[in-house]
């Protein structure tokens, strides 16, 4: 059985000291151990940005894809090899801007993968520009007079897309984040884990202390029911999305694989290798 060290390689992360992504990486590795996975049973698929480095820092199968396109790659990988546990990683710039269309449709499609979205309310790798998640009035190089665009509401967007698993964590709460990732991977369908992962270099507003003061853990709410969609949406709005925990789960909606029949009969996995002469003929016909 794999241990934590088995998911570590010799590549040293080069995020800024204090970056929330260090904790997310640690939570991912801990989750893999708690799930009883071996490195060859896990695939990490990333887009572009600070979060795009995850696939190189974790010892498992890794894909570093194009900006905003981690989810198409991840879905294709899962459908081609359903035995793999596929986790896509991205930031709010990657998943809520250029990749928003892919995020929305991946959620509604409900392929059995997990998406860990690191939300720091700013573009970090490109040195501090306003992102789709930046608060109104947020000042950066691209919005020197303050952001005037309404921030994308990640949680409500996911719910509108028909999400079957929506969770939210915080980098400082590593054990809870680990537990959420474990639950997400076990969920039979698309699972979204949004993580508040502060950027200590380019966001001096949404800091660790800011989140500590604002965030509310749903485990402290006696009447919270994460199966009641209407009640969950109401709570999200009342708290402006500043909640942590497993916010919503629908265990009734079947996954894409189950509905399509791929769960029992994966056609891509069953494709026979072409004989060399047949392959050559196809190439010749193509040209």
- Over residues 193-223, the pLDDT tens digits come to 999 999 999 999 999 999 999 999 999 999 9
Percent of the chain with pLDDT over 90: 89
Question: pTM of this prediction?
Answer: 0.92
Query: pLDDT tens across 87-146, in order?
Result: 999 999 999 999 999 999 999 999 999 999 999 999 999 999 999 999 999 999 999 999
**DSSP-derived 3-state class of residue 16:** coil
Q: Which of 164, 167, 145, 171 is nearest to 155 (CA)?
A: 167
In the predicted model, what is the mean pLDDT of the chain? Answer: 95
Separation CA 171–CA 200 (nearest Å) = 12
With b for 16 or more beta-carbon neighbours within 10 A and e for fewer, the 171-204 pattern comes to bbbbebbbbbbbbbbebbbbbbbbbbbbbbbbbe
Tell which residue, 8, 33, 78, 36, has the closest CA to residue 178: 33
> At the topology level of CATH, where does 4-261 sit?
Rossmann fold (3.40.50)
Residue 152 sits at the vertex; the CA angle it makes with 147 and 154, to the nearest 5 degrees, is 145
H helix runs in 133-286, sequence order: 154-160, 174-186, 208-214, 229-238, 256-260, 267-270, 276-286
Q: Return the sign of the alpha-carbon dihedral for residues 189, 245, 203, 87.
A: negative
> For residue range 152-204, what is the model confidence (pLDDT) as tens digits?
999 999 999 999 999 999 999 999 999 999 999 999 999 999 999 999 999 99
């Amino acid at each position: 059985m794999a241990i934590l060290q088995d998911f570590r390689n010799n590549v040293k992360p080069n995020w800024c000291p204090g970056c929330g992504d260090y904790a997310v990486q640690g939570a991912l590795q801990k989750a893999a151990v708690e799930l009883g996975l071996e490195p060859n049973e896990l695939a990490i698929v990333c887009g572009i940005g600070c979060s795009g480095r995850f696939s190189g820092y974790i010892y498992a199968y890794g894909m570093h894809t194009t900006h905003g396109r981690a989810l198409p790659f991840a879905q294709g990988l899962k459908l081609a090899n359903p035995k793999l546990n596929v986790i896509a990683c991205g930031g709010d710039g990657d998943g809520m801007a250029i990749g928003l269309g892919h995020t929305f449709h991946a959620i509604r499609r409900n392929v059995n993968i997990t998406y860990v979205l690191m939300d720091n309310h700013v573009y970090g790798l490109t040195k501090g520009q306003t992102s789709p998640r930046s608060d109104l009035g947020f000042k950066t190089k691209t919005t020197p007079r303050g952001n005037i665009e309404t921030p994308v509401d990640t949680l409500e967007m996911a719910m509108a897309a028909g999400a079957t698993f929506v969770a939210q964590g915080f980098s400082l709460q590593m054990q809870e984040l680990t537990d959420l990732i474990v639950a997400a991977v076990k969920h039979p369908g698309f699972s979204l884990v949004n993580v508040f992962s502060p950027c200590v270099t380019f966001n001096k507003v949404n800091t660790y202390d800011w989140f500590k003061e604002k965030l509310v853990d749903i485990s402290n709410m006696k009447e919270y029911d994460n199966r009641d969609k209407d009640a969950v949406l109401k709570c999200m709005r009342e708290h402006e999305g500043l909640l942590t925990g497993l916010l919503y789960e629908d265990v009734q909606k079947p996954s894409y694989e189950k509905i399509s029949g791929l769960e029992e009969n994966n056609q891509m996995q069953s494709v026979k290798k072409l004989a060399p002469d047949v392959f050559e003929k196809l190439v010749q016909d193509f040209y």
